[in-house]
Amino acid sequence: MFAVATTTLSFKDHFSEQSAQYANYRPRYPAELFQILADQCQRRELAWDCATGSGQAAVALGEFFESVIATDASDTQIASAIPHANVSYRVATAEVSGLDDASVDLLTVGQALHWFDHERFFTEAGRVLASGGVLAVWCYGLCHVTDACDGVVDELYTDIVNEFWPPERRHIEERYAGITMPAAEIDVPRVNMYADWTADDMLGYLRTWSACRRYRKAHDRDPVTLIAGKLQDTWGTDSRPVCWPLTLKACRL
């Protein structure tokens, strides 16, 4: 069910212009991640997936929770989100969710906490989480394919679009080490995200980077084309396994 608000929201929007590409090319989180999170919860009545994007995490949570509310500040992202019988989509910011007090058993934020006003968001999390409710956040940085392929991707990241990364990107590079959770962290297992991709899949993914979008606006050309031929030559015609180590942090409020 889609419930799209008409209120204009103020937020740093790095992805709305490419919401379709974001939905098509972003890697899929492993089912193991959501099983780990569900196992931490005392109840599984309601989960809130904040900054849901295309709804990937929300749909996965829908297999474990009776109901999932998935919010994003971008109405374009919400319009492109994946339907699921247990998921209700809404347009809302992380800091002002509109959810009821003490109603949420699990609050998840995938690859988005670094964009938030942390103090205000953690206050909102404390308001909406039920007693014993779990807040879980995760992020991922550069992936690993082979040393040669990784070198080409790093050339794009470091040499071509580096100046176009928003300052919040440092939190990803630091694997959220500089973000203090609002309560003592729960010990959770390490999780990796995997995909089996061709070179074209990887090129599509690289084009979803916010720095690439900003580069295109500044230079009126696609920065990915500067490394596309080299990546395709290095990658070859077959699909290859791609791995992103996830940094997962969780606490119980």
- Give the model confidence (pLDDT) of 153-197 as tens digits: 999 999 999 999 999 999 999 999 999 999 999 999 999 999 999
- Per-residue confidence at 14, pLDDT binned at 50, 70, 90? very low
Query: What are the C-alpha distances in Å from 47 to residues 2, 93, 137?
Result: 16, 16, 13
Token couple for 62: 């829908």
CB half-sphere exposure, 39, CA atoms < 13 A: 10
Instruction: Show Cβ contacts of residue 208 under 8 Å, excluding neighbours closer than 6 positions.
Output: 15, 18, 21, 22, 25, 26
Q: Provide the residue ranges of all domains of the chain, joining segments of one domain with +.
A: 2-143+167-194+244-252
Q: Is the pTM of this model over 0.85?
A: yes
pLDDT of residue 20: 62
CB half-sphere exposure, 221, CA atoms < 13 A: 7
pLDDT of residue 25: 82
Say which residue the tokens 């694997």 belong to. 175
For the cut 70, the answer to whether the pLDDT of residue 7 exceeds it is no
For the cut 60, the answer to whether the pLDDT of residue 4 exceeds it is no
- At the top level of CATH, the class of 2-143+167-194+244-252 is alpha beta
Say which residue the tokens 């014993």 belong to. 132
